[in-house]
Structure 1
Amino acid sequence: MCRLLGYLGSAIQLDNLLYKPDHSLIAQSYQPREMTAGLLNADGFGVGWYHPQKDENPYVYKNILPIWSDVNLPHLSRYVESSCVLAYVRSATPPLAVDLSNCQPFTHENLLFIHNGFIHNFRQTLYRPIRNLLDDYAYQLITGTTDSEHIFALVISELRKSPNLSLEKALINALTQLTQLAKSHHVYFSANIIISNGKQLVASRYSNRAPTPTLYWLQDDLLYPDAVIIASEPLFEGNWKNCRERTVISVSHQLTSQIPTIKIFEI
Structure 2
Amino acid sequence: MCRHLAVVGPPASIGSAVVDPSHSLFRQAWQPRRQQHGTVNADGFGVGWYAPGDPRPARYRRTGPMWADPSFADLARVVHTGALLAAVRDATVPSADGEAAAAPFADGPWLFSHNGAVPGYPESVLPLASQVPAEELLRMEARCDAAFLWALLAHRLRRGEPVEQTLADTVKAAADAAPGARLNLLLTDGARIAATTWGDTLWYLTGPAGRTAVASEPYDDDPHWTEVPDHTLLIADRTDVTLSPLKEPWQ
Cα distance in 1 between the residues matched to 2:96 and 2:217: 25
Cα distance in 1 between the residues matched to 2:241 and 2:133: 31
Partner of residue 202, structure 1: 194
**Aligned-residue CA RMSD (Å):** 1.5
User: What's the CA shift for 1:242?
Assistant: 0.6
1:264 maps to 2:249: no
Cα distance in 1 between the residues matched to 2:13 and 2:156: 33
Cα distance in 1 between the residues matched to 2:56 and 2:239: 21
**Residue aligned with 1:72, SS:** helix
Partner of residue 86, structure 1: 85
Structure 1 runs, 4 residues or longer, greater than 6 Å off:
none
1:70 maps to 2:69: yes
1:2 maps to 2:33: no
**Residue aligned with 1:122, SS:** coil
1:229 aligned residue (204, 213, 216): 213
1:157 maps to 2:142: no
How many residue pairs end up in the alignment?
245
Cα distance in 1 between the residues matched to 2:210 and 2:48: 20
Letter of the structure 2 residue corresponding to residue 154 of structure 1: L
Q: Any gaps of 5 or more consecutive residues in structure 2?
A: 247-251
Q: Give the TM-score of the pair, scaled to structure 2.
A: 0.92
Q: Give the TM-score of the pair, scaled to structure 1.
A: 0.87
**Residue aligned with 2:219, SS:** coil
Cα distance in 2 between the residues matched to 1:244 and 1:123: 28
User: What's the CA shift for 1:141?
Assistant: 3.0
User: What's the CA shift for 1:180?
Assistant: 2.8
1:17 maps to 2:17: yes
Verify the 8 A CA contact 1:43 1:98 in the aligned structure 2.
no
Cα distance in 1 between the residues matched to 2:171 and 2:74: 37
Q: Any gaps of 5 or more consecutive residues in structure 1?
A: 207-211, 253-258
Cα distance in 2 between the residues matched to 1:172 and 1:124: 22
Superposition pairs for residues 1-267 of structure 1, below 5 Å?
1-53=1-53, 55-97=54-96, 99-126=98-125, 128-160=126-158, 162-163=159-160, 165-182=161-178, 187-206=179-198, 212-220=199-207, 225-238=209-222, 239-252=224-237, 259-267=238-246
